[in-house]
Amino acid sequence: MIRGDDRGEEYGDAYPVEVQWGRPLRMTAADLRPRIVLLPGDGIGPEIVAAARRVLEAVGEFEITEQVVGGASIDVHGTALADEVLEACRRSDAVLLGAVGGPKWDTTDPQAPRPEQGLLRLRKGLGLYANLRPVRPSPALVDASPLRDERLAGTDLLVVRELTGGIYFGDSGRDGDRAHDTCEYSVAEIERIATVAFDAARRRAAGKSRTPRVTSVDKANVLETSRLWRETVERLAGDYPEVELEHMLVDNAAMQLVSSPARFDVILTENMFGDILSDESAMLTGSLGMLPSASLGSDRPGLFEPVHGSAPDIAGRGVANPLATVLSVAMMLGHGLDRPDEAAVIEAAVDSVLQRGLRTFDLAGAGEEPVGTDEITEAVLATL
């Protein structure tokens, strides 16, 4: 499905100009190329996004533009996400982001702009309430995991994190020597993210003989938002009789993720718990450098980005692991652009490169000679 078509139909002849949404009315094949906005961001962001761009361009034709976000944007515009950049993202079919942040912009001054605000504004501005973070340790990497093989065996989980509500977006402020951040959720917000989780559980189990399971993670023994969360998820579960629902307190979930990760299927949780648990889950794969993510709303564009941060300590040295970003391109093709075949080709290429023993320094074990960003990217390109 190409979105240009939908938009054409939606406005039809009633839209009296030659150009709709920046696309000419009479479309040629070149006009129908999906529009991708790249937001490299800070630290290793530019290196890994450049690598991912090469992979993207190797699998298809896209209209690609690059924009600044995060610290890079603060340097140019004085704000972490300029209005025109948000607008360009809105008009695109998908957005690929590297990472934001770095010591240069670290501050506790509430008046000063922070790189992370760019990402939060992008999520809110594009209505991206559902963050999907799949964790499936590559068989070639079991030795890189901090867990023993037998604990890790069979781990294949998906974190579904609510992304535009909760304490990240509630009222916050300072008053003299006090500060506050407010956590709020509405039934509607909980229902729509829970629907994503139940649907994902159903899809993941389709054609398999196992029972789909959703583990809803909260802190219902303490927090009122968590009690509303639990009640709402419980009610929605009635629409999914084939999905097994369990509730788990977040501290227990953090513990079980390292003691028995294979017991999880879909983890459904609110914004901040999801932030913390997804980093923890990511480390099960041996490196934060391997995990992709998709942030989706009820319409295009989605935002695709690696789970890891901007790693300023290794920025510019050509050693960053680009695979999480390359795998985010695969998620972009699969989830964002309805091109699952190209997504599968990229995933297979990454697996194959790891299988052959190539390791960036974050993955290399004792006695393994690490390769750089370019080398591993070339290897992926050669395998496609």
Write out the residues near Mg ion by the rule CB under 5 A: 275
Ramachandran region, residue 310 (left: φ > 0; alpha: ψ -120 to 50; beta: rest): alpha
Query: 199: part of which helix (H) or strand (E)?
Result: helix 187-205
| Cα–Cα distance measured from residue 21 to residue 205, given in angstroms and rounded to the nearest whole number | 38
* 42 scored as a contact of ligand IPM (CB under 6 A): no
Residue 39 phi, psi dihedral angles, 5° rounding: -120, 90
User: Based on CB atoms, which residue is closest to Mg ion, 116 or 368?
Assistant: 116
- DSSP 8-class letter at 153: T
- 279 catalytic, yes or no? yes
Give min distance, CB of 82 to ligand IPM, in A.
18
- 143 catalytic, yes or no? no
Give min distance, CB of 325 to ligand IPM, in A.
13
Give min distance, CB of 220 to ligand IPM, in A.
22
**Span from 89-97, 113-121, 313-321, 358-366 in contact with ligand IPM (CB under 6 A):** 113-121
**What is the number of other CB atoms lying within 10 angstroms of the CB of residue 193?**
26
**Which of Mg ion, ligand IPM, none has residue 116 at its interface (CB below 5 to 8 Å by kind)?**
ligand IPM
* 275 scored as a contact of ligand IPM (CB under 6 A): yes
**What is the number of other CB atoms lying within 10 angstroms of the CB of residue 78?**
9
| Cα–Cα distance measured from residue 266 to residue 136, given in angstroms and rounded to the nearest whole number | 12
Q: Which residue is nearest to Mg ion (CB)?
A: 275
Give min distance, CB of 116 to ligand IPM, in A.
4
Single-letter amino acid, residue 166: G
**Sheet of 130-135: strands edge to edge?**
63-66, 35-41, 94-99, 302-306, 292-296, 130-135, 157-162, 266-269, 213-218, 244-249
From the candidates 199, 279, 351, 374, which is the catalytic residue?
279
| Cα–Cα distance measured from residue 172 to residue 114, given in angstroms and rounded to the nearest whole number | 15
| Residue 254 burial by Cβ neighbours in a 10 Å radius (0-12, 13-18, 19+) | middle
**Span from 112-120, 247-255, 311-319, 341-349 in contact with ligand IPM (CB under 6 A):** 112-120
Give min distance, CB of 120 to ligand IPM, in A.
6
Give min distance, CB of 205 to ligand IPM, in A.
27
- C-alpha distances out from residue 230 to 216, 218, 236, 253, 256, Å: 8, 7, 10, 15, 19
User: Based on CB atoms, which residue is closest to ligand IPM, 69 or 194?
Assistant: 69
From the candidates 251, 299, 313, 338, which is the catalytic residue?
251
**Span from 15-23, 114-122, 229-237, 373-381 in contact with ligand IPM (CB under 6 A):** 114-122
User: Based on CB atoms, which residue is closest to ligand IPM, 98 or 334?
Assistant: 98
**Which of ligand IPM, Mg ion, none has residue 119 at its interface (CB below 5 to 8 Å by kind)?**
ligand IPM
- 239 catalytic, yes or no? no
| Residue 111 burial by Cβ neighbours in a 10 Å radius (0-12, 13-18, 19+) | exposed
Instruction: Assess contact for 40 and 98: CB atoms under 8 A.
Output: yes
- Which 115-134 positions form the footprint of ligand IPM (CB under 6 A)? 116, 119-120
- 124 catalytic, yes or no? no
- 351 catalytic, yes or no? no
User: Based on CB atoms, which residue is closest to ligand IPM, 73 or 377?
Assistant: 73
Number of residues that bind ligand IPM (CB under 6 A): 4
Enumerate binding residues for ligand IPM (CB under 6 A): 116, 119-120, 275
Q: Which residues are catalytic?
A: 168, 219, 251, 275, 279
